[in-house]
């Protein structure tokens, strides 16, 4: 007990206390400025009922679901697996160059990356418009969600690619060859040999990237949630109401709701993982 005490203190100070403080703030009308900043009043569950009834919160939640499904599950996991599968038997420069480029997108600082993407998607001087010969097309204004979904896919594919690359090494070549000898197509090989073998890796990966993407704030640096809130995913929404709008108490209440959603997501994945273990025993 004595040995873990310092660690428990650190966890208490930096994790548990802020979490409890958020719950407390969520029950007050605490504001960034004005009277309520000096003397916040307990308002009970008013913030929660307000949030749950807020059209802007509903839109934001729906946008976040699109963001997670589009950029994490379809984008990062799908693309990451495809690259890992395509490169699995390759060696040499092609593999190194592809892996290097994908990794680069992951390790660059987010502010640098955001600037690069604004430069790419810019209406007048953007590289993409120059490439497509369609000057004046406002990607970030006309397709803000699509822009940040593609951006986040590009940004985070490296993790899935590396994880699936390692997982695919666990698939014995003789199993794939047995399927090939039976006449199985690529799809059938994936369904019957590869996916059952790497199911644990897939679920773990999906859990991690779903949570990361759910809480990702990098897109703020590209669209700031706009235009007109059309790319305002939950982390951006919280920032906008709590810090830009100054309603800290309300922001804390929404944060707590996001925490609950994350918990539910994690529980669902863990449930699936445990179900697999149970089935194998």
Rule CB under 8 A: which residues touch other proteins? 172, 174-175, 177-184, 188, 192-193, 196-197, 280
Helices (H), ranges, 71-215: 79-86, 93-107, 110-121, 127-132, 139-142, 144-168, 173-182, 186-189, 195-197, 199-214
Q: Distance between CA atoms of 211 and 43, rounded to whole angstroms? A: 30
Lookup: tokens for 35: 């009277």
The CB-of-278 to other proteins minimum distance in angstroms stands at: 13
Q: Is 115 or 195 the residue whose CB approaches other proteins more closely?
A: 195
The CB-of-96 to other proteins minimum distance in angstroms stands at: 17
Burial of 266 (0-12, 13-18, 19+ CB in 10 A): middle
The CB-of-199 to other proteins minimum distance in angstroms stands at: 8
Burial of 175 (0-12, 13-18, 19+ CB in 10 A): middle
Q: Is 179 or 236 the residue whose CB approaches other proteins more closely?
A: 179
Burial 58-77 (b: 16+ CB within 10 A, else e): eebbebbebbbebbbbebbb
Q: Which residues lie below 8 Å from residue 270, measured CB to CB, with a gap of 6+?
A: 207
Q: Is 179 or 252 the residue whose CB approaches other proteins more closely?
A: 179
The CB-of-180 to other proteins minimum distance in angstroms stands at: 5
Q: Is 88 or 143 the residue whose CB approaches other proteins more closely?
A: 88
Contact assessment for residue 128 and residue 139, using Cβ atoms and an 8 Å cutoff: yes
The CB-of-82 to other proteins minimum distance in angstroms stands at: 22
Q: Is 95 or 175 the residue whose CB approaches other proteins more closely?
A: 175
The CB-of-179 to other proteins minimum distance in angstroms stands at: 8
On the question of a cis peptide bond just before residue 227, with omega within 30 degrees of 0, the verdict is: yes
Q: Which helix (H) or strand (E) holds 237?
A: helix 234-239
Q: Is 196 or 275 the residue whose CB approaches other proteins more closely?
A: 196
| C-alpha separations of 161 from 87, 149, 202, 270 in Å | 10, 17, 11, 22
Q: Is 1 or 181 the residue whose CB approaches other proteins more closely?
A: 181
The CB-of-178 to other proteins minimum distance in angstroms stands at: 4
């Amino acid at each position: 007990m004595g040995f873990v005490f310092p660690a428990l203190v650190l966890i208490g100070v930096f994790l548990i206390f802020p979490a409890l403080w958020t719950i407390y703030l969520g029950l007050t009308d605490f504001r960034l400025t004005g009277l309520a900043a000096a003397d916040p009043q307990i308002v009970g569950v008013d913030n929660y009922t307000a949030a749950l009834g807020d059209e802007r919160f509903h839109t934001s939640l729906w946008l976040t679901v699109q963001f997670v499904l589009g950029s994490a599950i379809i984008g990062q996991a799908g693309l990451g697996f495809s690259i890992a599968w395509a490169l699995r038997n390759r060696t040499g420069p092609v593999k190194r160059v592809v892996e290097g480029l994908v990794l680069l997108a992951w390790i660059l600082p987010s502010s640098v990356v955001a600037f690069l993407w604004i430069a790419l998607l810019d209406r007048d001087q953007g590289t993409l418009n120059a490439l497509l010969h369609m000057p004046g097309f406002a990607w970030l204004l006309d397709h803000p969600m699509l822009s940040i979904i593609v951006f986040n896919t590009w940004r985070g594919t490296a993790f899935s690619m590396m994880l699936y690359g390692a997982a695919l090494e666990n698939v014995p070549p003789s199993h794939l060859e047995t399927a090939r000898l039976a006449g199985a197509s690529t799809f059938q090989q994936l369904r019957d040999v590869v996916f059952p073998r790497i199911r644990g890796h897939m679920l773990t990966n999906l859990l991690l990237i779903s949570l990361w993407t759910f809480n990702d704030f990098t897109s703020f640096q590209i669209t700031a949630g706009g235009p007109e809130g059309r790319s305002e995913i939950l982390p951006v929404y919280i920032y906008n109401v709590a810090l830009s709008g100054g309603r800290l108490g309300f922001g804390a209440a929404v944060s707590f709701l996001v925490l609950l959603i994350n918990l539910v997501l994690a529980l669902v994945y863990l449930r699936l993982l445990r179900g697999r273990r149970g089935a194998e025993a």
